Structure 1
Amino acid sequence: MDTSIHRTAIVILIVILLGGCTWKQQQEPAHPESVQPVLPGEYFITHHLMTDQGMIRTSFAEQHIYLSESLGLWMDYLVQKKDQPSFDQQVDVLHTQFLLNHDLLSWQIESQQKSKVNALVDDLRVVAALQKADQLWQKSAYQTTAKEIAQALKDNNMFKGILTDYYDASTKQTSHTITLSYMDPKAIKELVSLQIFTKQTMINQLAILKNAPRQKGFFPKSYDIAKKAYSFDQEINLIDQLYTALHAEHAQVDTSEIMKWLKTNFQEEGKLYGRYELNSLKPAVTYESPSVYALVILYALNQGELDFAKDVYHRMKELQIQDPLKPYYGGYMNEKETHSFDNLLPLIAERELLNESVIQ
């Protein structure tokens, strides 16, 4: 058989097989409105990172590590996709694998051992996803779980009335620091709707974002609650800055200087790097990050910068393996390595672009 014909036949077969998964759902859908095509990134995650138990491993390392970060991001994606059966599977993973006795999530599971430490950002993300799911599918169990986690955050994960980075159940110690990129106003507002926080408590949290000093438009990395002091890193980690900028916008904080800087750099370089020196604003590294591009897309969508979001999307997709004949089709790979975060965030960004009809 001619090589080109053989190659075409294989590609067609893969497309049929991928479509077959969706076609089967279309025959007997539990929720007809939720049937959507499987994106390449989703295919990669379910075929290469997800275990038979529905847990997403962090990398291809022989020793599997599972993060509450991956769980929350995947739950967020499934809500956006309106895939309730898969979402319910992750709720089961949440209950059976990640929840600790005091209703906070273990931030990491390694060698089947749960860390006794949580990560505020991940717990808030899961609460927000459960609340979105409850609004979408009206299943009270989602809100019940969200409320239990939210109450545990209030009981254990606060210092002087402010949410902090983590709580260590083994030592019963709470962090005295809050990383600004962890402070998600949308998720914190859900704690109010769950009647765990008062509006004043929420206002106290958001004041950390609103009162943050800026250097060249960029935010501090963290705030020491005991010392009442903000701290800047000497390098700008764009993932931290983009999360903070996105959260700040939701708290009605102006971040236009950051958006202007991003657009200018991207237009001049055709790319963005993972880190920049704070003093010179020159790249501190040579690598690009699919997660950075994903967050730029989400930030640009929030700002109504649709053309910029689309341009960044096309650059992000250049980092993805798009050939169906390649072993890791759909993955964002660094040679033979990958990380769940660098696949989940781009997938969320792509789904949001589709949902907003920015791409088709």
Structure 2
Amino acid sequence: MKKSHYFLISGVLIILLVMGLIVLLPAKSTPSSQKKSSSEVASIMKEQEEVKPKNHFGTNNNQHKQALLQFIQNKMTSEHGIVTNYIDTNQTEETATGHEILSESAGLMLRYLALSGQKKDFNHEWDLTLKTVDDGTQFSYRYSPKLAKRSDVNASVDDLRILRSLKEAASKFHDTDYEKDFEKYANRFTKTSIKKNELYDFYDSKIKVNNDFITLCYIDLKTISLLPDNQTKLLENQLTILENGYLGDGFPFYKTRFNYSKEAYQDSDEINVIESLLAILHLSEVGLQKQASIDYLKEQVNDGTLSNRYDSQGKPIDLNQSPASYGIAAMIASEVGDEEFYLTAINKMETYQVTDGASPLNGGYGDTVTNQVYSFNNLIALLAYQY
């Protein structure tokens, strides 16, 4: 089976599409709909101490998982950390390519290592993260080893993932040093990426401004609830934005982003499946998922028809599929306690894995024609086994 039609996506691409939109911060605004009740937020805050996934349907003995881990360790890891692509480049493109290091990759790997109980490897990855993407103000979303250069902007969704990993490490390893690191870097994050109880996609540490919107898949409700200094109002605002972005029971995915200054959702004519799946995952982690979303997603997974992109009415406009989509679907299934759904999603994901012992991509998820392999697909797949 050829692996030549992958949807190779990275969360940082969202940033790159909007780099020209950085503006001074607008006045605080929220969607026109009534804010969610304080009881929903109180429920989230009450359960915040339990940081690990609700269930653990995955297994470390899975042969697919072991082959994937070996591929990542042997083919996607440099002295600087997890590389963005198997094939290196000159690292001068507008989008991250080659053996550049992403905060996205660091966060995913850190979460995997914490949840799988690998303290020594976690410490090593954490040290690399601080050396490569920490710019002293925030975690740069991108570092180029060839150019010895960090981007001036972060990606708040990736920062939150890194912060979550520290909480998970503190819980798994019973080590308060990780709690101290969490407090340090979480306090820093709240000073740059959160303004007036609103979370922003990114902050430019050079010109010291944020963008003026939030992409809905960035709203990691669980990690927001863990931030210091009681983030109840922030959580209430972001929950309102996320839930009011629901497209409807006919197509139970989510709009793309909310513009604070315009008080309106935007860029939702086409729905990126990864973005909507992450939104559903973040809701399911706090028990606020829509049942229509779960039913629809389960049907798509069972039929193997989880397309990359849809129009706003739910018509597929890109029939290619991504292993990461099925990996995130598996995480959602675990969070809602449906083991059969979880196993089906994992099995669908594994059909995209390269299983040719003669291929340099053996064990990984990538295009065997071009040898293009992106870290996001592989790390999401690896993390899915810890759910």
TM range (shorter): 0.7 to 0.9
Residues 115, 168 of structure 2: 8 Å contact kept: no
Residues of 2 paired with 1:130 and 1:267: CA distance?
A: 34
The residue aligned with 1:276 is 310
Residues 75, 90 of structure 1: 8 Å contact kept: yes
Residues 290, 319 of structure 1: 8 Å contact kept: yes
The residue aligned with 1:294 is 327
SS for the counterpart of 2:310 is: strand
Residues of 1 paired with 2:308 and 2:279: CA distance?
A: 15
Which residue of 241, 263, 268 corresponds with 2:276? 241
Residues 157, 201 of structure 2: 8 Å contact kept: yes
Any gaps of 5 or more consecutive residues in structure 2?
1-59, 91-98
Q: Check if 1:190 corresponds to 2:226.
A: yes
In the TM superposition, what are the counterparts of 1:138-149 in structure 2 within 5 Å?
138-149=174-185
The residue aligned with 1:9 is none
Residues of 2 paired with 1:250 and 1:266: CA distance?
A: 19
Deviation at 1:213, TM superposition (A): 4.4
Residues 159, 175 of structure 1: 8 Å contact kept: no
Residues 160, 225 of structure 1: 8 Å contact kept: no
1:133-173 Cα shifts (integer Å, max 9, x gaps):
01222333322222222112211112332111000011111
> Which gives a bigger RCO, structure 1 or 2 (Cα 8 Å, sep 6+)?
2
Q: Which moved more, 1:176-185 or 1:314-323?
A: 314-323
Q: Check if 1:58 corresponds to 2:84.
A: yes
Q: Which runs of 4+ in 1 moved over 4 A?
A: none
What is the RMSD of the two structures over their aligned residues, measured on CA atoms?
1.9
The residue aligned with 1:206 is 239
Deviation at 1:251, TM superposition (A): 4.2
Q: Check if 1:89 corresponds to 2:124.
A: yes
Residues of 2 paired with 1:251 and 1:311: CA distance?
A: 23
In the TM superposition, what are the counterparts of 1:117-266 in structure 2 within 5 Å?
117-191=153-227, 195-215=228-248, 216-266=251-301
Deviation at 1:326, TM superposition (A): 3.3
Deviation at 1:333, TM superposition (A): 1.2
Deviation at 1:78, TM superposition (A): 0.5
Q: Which moved more, 1:296-305 or 1:77-86?
A: 296-305
Deviation at 1:254, TM superposition (A): 3.8
Residues of 1 paired with 2:179 and 2:194: CA distance?
A: 22
Which residue of 304, 309, 328 corresponds with 2:361? 328
Tell me the amino acid that sits aligned with residue 238 of structure 1.
V
Tell me the amino acid that sits aligned with residue 107 of structure 1.
Y
Q: Which moved more, 1:210-219 or 1:231-240?
A: 210-219
Residues 193, 202 of structure 2: 8 Å contact kept: yes
Any gaps of 5 or more consecutive residues in structure 1?
1-35, 353-360
Residues 221, 239 of structure 2: 8 Å contact kept: yes
TM-score normalised by length of structure 1: 0.81
Residues 159, 225 of structure 1: 8 Å contact kept: no
The residue aligned with 1:45 is 72
Residues of 2 paired with 1:162 and 1:71: CA distance?
A: 25
Using the aligned pairs only, state the percent identity: 28
Q: Check if 1:304 corresponds to 2:333.
A: no
The structure with more radius of gyration: 1
Residues of 2 paired with 1:160 and 1:229: CA distance?
A: 18
Residues 147, 196 of structure 1: 8 Å contact kept: no
Residues of 1 paired with 2:306 and 2:243: CA distance?
A: 27
Which residue of 338, 348, 351 corresponds with 2:383? 348
Which residue of 74, 87, 110 corresponds with 1:75? 110
Deviation at 1:285, TM superposition (A): 1.4
What is the number of equivalent residue pairs in this alignment? 310
In the TM superposition, what are the counterparts of 1:27-38 in structure 2 within 5 Å?
none
* Greater helix proportion: 1
Residues of 2 paired with 1:41 and 1:298: CA distance?
A: 17
Evaluate the alpha carbon distance shift between residue 235 and residue 311 of structure 1 in structure 2; reply closer, same or farther with a 3 A threshold. same
Deviation at 1:325, TM superposition (A): 4.5
SS for the counterpart of 2:386 is: helix
TM-score normalised by length of structure 2: 0.75
SS for the counterpart of 1:227 is: coil
Deviation at 1:265, TM superposition (A): 3.1
1:15-73 Cα shifts (integer Å, max 9, x gaps):
xxxxxxxxxxxxxxxxxxxxx667111111110010134x1110023332110000000
